[in-house]
Amino acid sequence: MKATIHPYTLHFKQPAGTSRGIYTTRKVWYIHLYDPTTGHNGYGECAPLPNLSCDDLPDYEKILQEQCRTLENEGNIPYEALRNYPSMLFGIETAMQQLKSDSLQLWSTPFSDGKEGIPINGLIWMGNFDEMYRRIEEKMQQGFRCIKLKIGAIDFNKELELLHHIREHFTKEQIELRVDANGAFEPATAPSKMEALNAFQLHSIEQPIRAGQWKKMATLCNHTPLPIALDEELIGINQTDEKIRLLETIRPQYIILKPSLHGGIHGSEEWIRLAQERGIGYWITSALESNIGLNAIAQWCATLHPTLPQGLGTGQLFTDNIDYPLHIQGDCLWFNPEKISEVHFNF
């Protein structure tokens, strides 16, 4: 097997506001695996998020090269060696899965056959009041039944006004609302803010306070008026015993899994098993990957038979994305196997 790394820079159609600043470009490393005995190819995406991923390292490419040489020599994925490099593991294991399947249909599911879509949420990015208001209107007109708003970037009362606007027009049965605070609340004021948010019958709130405050988060989860989902809290928690300790200490209502941040497919499946053993729910989200990564996440997500809306709608963010047979119709992500032959890797 031969492994080749291709650095690539993606450009956002419009600046993407996140809890770690505003992104205009996105650096990724694509892995190309080739098996000369079968003639099969596999492509994977390694995409650490700056200042967020636990493997956002200055020597990232060097470490990735070393892991690829190990893969070439041994022919197997070094899972334990890659535990602390989740974005690398995700790229390598999904490239291996494509090499095995010899198709962009990485697993056999009704989604990969084009017969079923995966329900997704409509994501409203951080912005000023007018921008977020316009984006909410667009998502509702497109037919989304679950809308997720990133909050904490503008005045809290303005954010409540946005939620009030939605609830004036749609009941909780018509539109499910999720909010993501990205750790913006202070522990002292979080309970009162969550009480105010609860008036709008939200499905959940993601990461109300910043990660690393386990006891304070545990108190919030124990007394919260609305379900809490952990996201950033899981980053860097890669060992099994630490995952157990976090889940048993905080006892969240949900965890949100981003394979490139939370242990690749292998580590995410471990999170799911440990959460289910403790009665904790979950859903899957992409993390600003290009269509190579998004397709891999969606193909895997479909094997889990999701019923909740997932966070898989980010494939339309870039001007120079690699064209894949993925499209959003209504409030679902779909895969069209008839267009696989039109995909070309030009890097």
Residue positions annotated with a catalytic role: 150, 258
Which secondary-structure segment (H or E) carries 185? none
Q: What b-and-e string marks burial along 147-184, b requiring 16 or more CB atoms within 10 Å of the CB?
A: bbbbbbbbeeeebbebbeebbeeeeeeebbbbbbbbbb
d(CA 178, CA 147): 6
AA letter at 339: K
The first and second tokens of residue 36, run together, are 């000369």
Contact criterion met (CB below 8 Å) for 55 and 238: no
Coil, helix or strand at residue 286: coil
Query: Positive or negative, the Cα torsion across 161, 162, 168, 174?
Result: negative
d(CA 244, CA 143): 38
Alpha helices in the chain (DSSP H): 60-74, 86-101, 129-142, 156-169, 190-198, 214-223, 240-250, 264-277, 291-303
CA angle 87, 24, 11 (to 5 degrees): 75
Contact criterion met (CB below 8 Å) for 282 and 272: yes
